[in-house]
Structure formats: structure tokens, C-alpha cells
Structure 1
Amino acid sequence: MTSEKENMMTATSRVPHAPITAWLTDMDGVLVKENRALPGAQDFLDALNENGLPFLVLTNNSIFTNRDLSARLAQSGLSVPEDRIWTSANATAAFLAQQSPASTAYVIGEAGLTTALHHADYIMTDAEPEYVVLGETRTYDFNAITRAIRLIEHGAKFIATNPDITGPSDEGTLPATGAVAAMIQAATGRRPYFVGKPNPVMIRAGLNQIGAHSEGAAMIGDRMDTDVRAGVEAGLRTHLVLSGSNTLADVEAFPYRPAVIAESIADLVPLVGASD
């Protein structure tokens, strides 16, 4: 008689698949939790490197630069190079560079977002910018939000890095990008275009970054509403781990399902380099 864990891990055994040749994985709740590496995280990264498989670590957090996040992961005991990190700030910059190259934006955000936009040859200005770009920050300023509202009223296009309403902190819940975007939307009547997860734009741009294709790629996440949804909509094989936000019972509430459900990323290490 098989265990519940074995049933979860064999969820795709009835469906033939091509081998997974690239992996995308969420960061918080999958690799780390409360700034501590989760069991099996480094083993998974080592397996990717040993098999020569391209991968990206994804996060909707737009506060930190790739260098900052690489250093923070190193402090947790995980080795992830800067070029293997893909943030909602990176995805937003890539999206804007494609939509309107070397244009202008009024930006509310921190170094992760401003650095990514600089690399995309964007000029940051409050004088008739083409875009208002809202990211996450720990110091939302009423004057900056007011300026953003007035620029949008005068025709600036409204972009936000991600739709997350809240974020965690040591002291408790913090308002995040989605909450501030809702306030600006209420004041202007203009809904922002969210680039980060669950928008598959973030996933597809990440795949382009590592030269991978959705048919042979997999997505690992701990949230059904962002990670799994983004993976499903981008055509990736989706893997839900129960080490973060969602439980096994939560899965039933969604109209889509992950291909594999596992207790943690440690259970996925044998899948790296394996052929289905």
C-alpha cells in the first residue's frame, strides 16, 4: 500500500513527458524560509550544476538587486550566482525594454528596481514620463504616491512589478506592491499592468534569459495562486512543495493542479537529470 507521500510524488506517472532540461524555482518557501536554507535546497542546486542544467531562482520581491539576493542566499548557506536570479524587477525592466526601448519612467521602488531599469537604458524622471513604475519599498512616501497619481492622470502608463498585497517581516505583515497599487488605482481609475507572478510574462522572459523552452522546463513553487498558476499558464511542468504557503488541502480549492506535489525540494532532487 503506497503512502500519501508516494502518491503525491507519482502524480505524473500516468502521463508521458519529455525530460526536464531547465528548472525555475521560487525562492521563499522553497529554498529558504525566514532567511534559513530549507533541507535539500543546496542538494537540489548541486544536482542542477552536476547535470549542467540551466536554472533560475525566481522572486516577486523587487527591493534587492541580484547581487544583494545572491549574498543573502549565501548567508543562508546557498550558492546561487547573480545571473541565476530573476526578480520581478528584472522581468519588469525586460518587459519595458521590449515594449518601449530606452524610454522614461517615474519609479517608486528601491535599488533592485532602479538598477534593473538603468540596465534597460531607462531614464528615471518625474517630467512627463511614459510610464509610472511601482515596485516594493519599505518606505512608501505619500508625496511620491501623489506624484504618481497625477502623472497617471496626465497620461502616464501604469506598471507594477507584482500584485502581492502583503509581505512578511519580523514584526508582522507589511503592505506590499499590490496594496499600494490598489490605492493608486482607486484614486486614478487606472488598473496597473502587473509583470510579476502569476503573470506568465515573468516566466517566459526568464526562460529567454537562460535560453530554455517551456516544453522542457519545470517550475517549483510553494504557492498555487502565483507559482503554480504562472507555470501552468506558461506551459511548464509544475511542482508544488508543501514547505511554504500552501497545504495539500489548499490544492483542492483551485481549478488547476500541479503536475507533482512534494513535501519539500529535498524530494525533488532525484528528478534532476532523470528522464520520464
Structure 2
Amino acid sequence: VSMLEQASGKKAFSVGKPSPVMMRGARKELSLDAKRTVMIGDTMSTDILGGHQLGYYTILVLSGTTHSEDLASYSYRPDTVLNSIADIDVNKIDELLRETTSCSQEESQFFEVA
């Protein structure tokens, strides 16, 4: 990155997952409504937190750094917890989004689909 900065004379601005700048930009580029956007991740402190902060539906997969026993230590919860990304049933996503958008963020249910 420093070589590019020197060559261009510009300071780099790194944006990557789960940066809110990147997540919001991708959603806007695709013309998606935040309430109909799903963040899938394996880390509570970055992926799921970022999704919550932007109002996205969140799916935690337990194939990464976060394990089910870790969930109690967080003040927020993913909307759905799955063992693996392979367990995501794309046919049920619309149903889950309808269920969670019909209640407020505070009333949002914690779905465990596994």
C-alpha cells in the first residue's frame, strides 16, 4: 500500500469486510433496503456487530472464530445461528426477514436454525 501511496501522492483509505463504509456502499450499489439485507459472518465482534449497526438481518455461522458457548458474553445476538454456511436455506431467508421486520429491533426474536 505504501508504494501505491508514494506513486500516487495520495493517502490510502482501506475498506474491507466488515467495514460499515464497505457494507453500506455495497448495499446502496445494489439498491437494497437495509431491512432486506442479510449479513452472514463467523465473527460476533465484527461481522454480526457490523450487521446489527446497519440494521441488517444477521446470520452467524459457527465455522469460524465464534462458538456457541461464546454467545452469552455478548450484549447483542445474531438473528440466526447455524453450524455452517452450508446450512443456509435460501428458500427460508424471505420468511425470516418477514418475521423479523414485523417486530421492532428490541422485540426481534433469536432464531436458532440448525
Q: What TM-score does the superposition give when structure 2 sets the normalisation length?
A: 0.69
- Once residues 108 and 213 of structure 1 are traced to their aligned partners in structure 2, the CA distance between those partners, rounded to angstroms, is 36
4+ residue segments displaced more than 4 Å: none
SS at match of 1:255: coil
Q: Any conservation in 2 of the 1:198–1:229 contact (CA below 8 Å)?
A: no
Number of residues of Structure 1 aligned to a counterpart in Structure 2: 96
The answer for the alignment partner of 1:260 in structure 2 is 80
Q: Which residue of 1 aligns with 2:104?
A: none
**In the superposition, relative to structure 1, how do residues 208 and 273 fare at CA in structure 2: closer, same or farther (>3 Å)?**
same
Alignment-derived partner of residue 69 in structure 2: 249
Distance 1:273 1:257, change over 3 A: closer
Q: Give the C-alpha shift of residue 197 in structure 1.
A: 3.5
Instruction: State the Cα distance separating 1:271 from its structure 2 match.
Output: 1.7
Work out the CA distance in 1 between the residues paired with 2:5 and 2:27: 31
Change (3 A) 1:262 1:127: closer
Deviation at 1:127, TM superposition (A): 6.2
Greater relative CO, 1 or 2 (CA 8 Å, sep 6+): 1
* Distance across 2 between alignment mates of 1:211 and 1:266: 26
Structure 2: which 5+ residue stretches go unaligned? 100-114
Alignment partners' CA distance in 2, 1:247 and 1:203: 24
The structure-2 alpha-carbon separation of the partners of 1:228 and 1:254, relative to structure 1 and needing over 3 Å to count, comes to same
Identity across matched positions, percent: 34
Amino acid in the other structure paired with 1:196: G
Distance 1:266 1:257 in 2: 21
Residue 224 of structure 1 aligns with an amino acid whose one-letter code is M
Determine which of 217, 227, 235 is the counterpart of 2:55. 235
Pick the aligned partner of 1:224 from 41, 44, 55.
Answer: 44
Per-residue Cα deviation, 1:78-120 (whole angstroms, up to 9, x for no partner): xxxxxxxxxxxxxxxxxxxxxxxxxxxxx348xxxxxxxxxxx
Distance in 2 (CA, whole Å) between partners of 1:232 and 1:221 is 12
C-alpha offsets along residues 60-82 of structure 1, whole Å, 9 cap, x if unaligned?
Answer: xxxxxxxxxxxxxxxxxxxxxxx
Aligned positions of 1:123-138 closer than 5 A: 124=4, 126=6, 129-131=9-11, 133=12
Question: Alpha carbons of 1:126 and 1:257: their partners in 2 closer, same or farther (altered >3 Å)?
Answer: same
Q: Match of 1:205? A: 25
Q: Deviations over 1:169-218 (max 9, x none)?
A: xxxxxxxxxxxxxxxxxxxxxxxxxx334431111011022111212111
Letter in 2 for 1:237: Y
Asked if structure 2 preserves the Cα contact closer than 8 Å seen for 1:197 and 1:230, the reply is: no
- Specify which structure has the higher proportion of strand: 1
Residues 228 and 199 of structure 1, relative CA distance in 2, 3 Å threshold:
same
Q: How well do the aligned residues superpose, as a CA RMSD in angstroms?
A: 2.4
